[in-house]
Homo-oligomer: A and B are copies of this chain.
Amino acid sequence: MRIAELSRQSGVPVPTIKYYLREGLLFPGELTSPNQASYGEAHLRRLRLIRALIDLGQVPVARVKEILEGLDSPDLSLHHQIGRAHRAITRTRTMPDQLPTAESAATPDARTLAAQQIEDLLAARGWTVEPDAPALTTLIDTVATLRALDQDHLVAHLDTYAEAVETFTHLEIAAVTQRTTPDQIAESVVIGTILGETLLTSLRLLAQESISAQHWRSGGAGD
């Protein structure tokens, strides 16, 4: 199909498609004449993925490129493709370089204590992660900050969170491995990681709205 039809089917405006082509997020179409290209199902599928990452996953365009480069590296093994895409996603979800220790609410001692607690938690669950995993830094900073803000109750539920998260993850990985081709598997991992988070976050906000309203309305406190 021509670019106008690709735009119609995907709902993405032509100038935006051209921008993605220039940025390398979308692979070029097949040239049918010096200034005309033809696009196929793979382009449509990729456009849907790009829009989902940007619109629902709130992933910046530069990171989308990094994630897709992981997917599009046939020289890498599937394990490494997944690892690379996942690490790129993790970096969009965590922000360790925005957290100079001096500005954090947590003291260095609180951070050491939190790091030890997380290490114990991971060991107890048998989770092995790279020591430089960005999510690890974020988790440690969050736990230390919660303590500094006198919100120990959330820290006390850390293992409940971890247990539930482990359940999802096993389900998700089992589902992903039923995909037939490595491309599909890698794509599923990316979508599942990012849109699964949106799913979880929205559900949590709705549960809070509902359960909290029930609680306070039923006389939980001075209303």
In the assembled complex, A105 has its CB within 8 A of some CB on chain B: yes
Smallest CB separation, A178 vs chain B (Å): 8
The answer for the CA separation of A36 and B161 in the assembled complex, in Å, is 46
In the assembled complex, A71 has its CB within 8 A of some CB on chain B: no
The answer for the CA separation of A107 and B133 in the assembled complex, in Å, is 37
The answer for the CA separation of A89 and B204 in the assembled complex, in Å, is 12
A136: which B residues are within 8 A, CB to CB? 202, 206
Chain A interface mostly: helix
CB atoms of B206 and A201 under 8 A apart = no
A79: which B residues are within 8 A, CB to CB? 213, 216-217, 221, 223
The answer for the CA separation of A151 and B189 in the assembled complex, in Å, is 10
Smallest CB separation, A216 vs chain B (Å): 4
A148: which B residues are within 8 A, CB to CB? 48
CB atoms of A154 and B93 under 8 A apart = no
Smallest CB separation, A63 vs chain B (Å): 14
A46-90 CB mask vs B (1 if < 8 Å, else 0) is 001101100110100000000000000000011100110010011
Q: A138 with B221: in contact, given A104-B11, A166-B211 (CB under 8 Å)?
A: no
CB atoms of A177 and B223 under 8 A apart = no
